[in-house]
Every structure is written in structure tokens, then in C-alpha cells.
Amino acid sequence: MSRIGVVTFPGSLDDRDAQRAIRLSGAEPVALWHDDADLHGVDAVVLPGGFSYGDYLRCGAIARFSPAMMSIVDAANAGLPVLGICNGFQILCEAHLLPGALTRNQHLHFRNRDQWLRVEQTDTAWTNAYQPGEEILIPVKNGEGCYVADPATLEELETTGRVVFRYLRGNPNGSQHDIAGVRNAAGNVVGLMPHPEHAVEALTGPSTDGLGLFTAVLAHLGAAVPAAGRDRR
């Protein structure tokens, strides 16, 4: 069974939800602590949503210096699959594993709603379970979710196919180019602002569309995906 680590920082909010999503996908969740550089031999890592270190300085700016992140940066550069969700996306950008930055929502309000996304790229460790152009419904909840980058970086992301998710039917935070998630060049690191871990069960989410990110990494790792994990609808 594949083992997927979930890092808990001071102020993490959705680490237990990410662990449950991993368990539902058919993998074993492994709790990782921000102050421990040992990744305990996990096959992939999820950086969950929340407010690491109270979002002081900038969201994710302090978390990027944690011992766990130092190990994750090295492992990601060597090919370890890493998924950053909301605050995790912010941390990946601060750690320079992904380009750009997440800033205050343009309307200056916290936004919490179910959000339609279009899957733009399916050749990553975390999106191979989807079809190109597939539309999925996943909750979004953020106050600093506006994705920005300089014009050259935006052009590179678009021309090289590194925009992974794009907002549909309304942009909740003013992100440039309606960008909801991006990937690194290798495709093993993906970050997105919406919360797939909150769309894995029909009882509690607006859909089960988010489960595909977690089953996708199992397929990438060569692990068997249980039937229940394959059926997202």
C-alpha cells in the first residue's frame, strides 16, 4: 500500500481532511510534523490548507523554512510527488517549487463557495485520473487566493502547459488568467487553491470530484486503485 504524508504546521486546518481523502483513495496516510525533517519514507506528500504560523509576514513565508519543508524541497526536486492545497499552494510558491504568488483577494473578502474548475492538464502525478477539459466542482475557501505572476512567467505557464486548473463560471479571487492551480515543469509538484479533500464523499461535499487527485497519484506510483476510489461520480 502506498504511503502518503500529510504535513501539519502550527495553524494547519485541513490536515485531517487530507488524511481521510488519502484513506478513501486506498492509500495509507502518514502524519508528518513540520519540525521533523524525517519524511518517514513516504511515497508522496500533501501540504494541507489552513493558516500556517497564523499567516504572519506572508501566507506560507514562515512555513517554507520548517525542517520538513527543507526535506520536501530536496525530495520534490528528485521527483517526489507533492500536492499543495490552498495554504499548501502558498507554501510551495514561497519555497520556489512553483512560480508566482498568492495575494489578497482582489475584492478584499474571504470567499467560501463551491467552485467549478476546468482540468487543463492531465499529464501530472496528481491529475492523470481526469480527462482534458473535464469540469469538476470543488469547494474554495480563501482570503489570499489571488494568483499573480509577472507577464513572462504567465506566458511561460500558458505556452508550456503548466496551468493545471482554471476557474469556471466566475473567478472567486481575481487570479490572473483565471488560474486555480499550476504545476512544475516535471509534473510531480502541483498546487491549487480549491480544496479537493472536501469533495471526496457525497454526504459532505458538493461532489466527489476531488477524489481524483488522490487516486491519480496512486496510479502514478503504480499502486492499485480500489474500485470505490475509481468511481468519483
Active site residue 144: no
Phi first, then psi, for residue 130 (nearest 5°) are: -100, 170
Distance CA 211, CA 82 (A): 16
* Whole-number Å distance between alpha carbons of 47 and 150: 25
Grouping H, G, I as helix, E, B as strand and the rest as coil, residue 139 is strand
Q: Is 59 a catalytic residue?
A: no
* DSSP letter assigned to residue 223: P
DSSP-assigned states of every residue in 46-93 = EE--B-GGGG-SSTTTTGGGSHHHHHHHHHHHTT--EEEETHHHHHHH
Q: Tell me the three state secondary structure of residue 96.
A: coil
Question: DSSP states of 114-133 as a string?
Answer: EEEEEE----STTTTTSPTT
The active-site residue out of 86, 93, 94, 146 is 86
CA distance 132 to 130: 7
Residue pointed to by grid coordinates 504572519: 56
Residue tagged active-site, from 59, 146, 195, 220 = 195
Q: Which of 94, 120, 144, 197 is catalytic?
A: 197
Query: Has 197 been annotated as catalytic?
Result: yes
Q: Which positions are catalytic?
A: 86, 195, 197
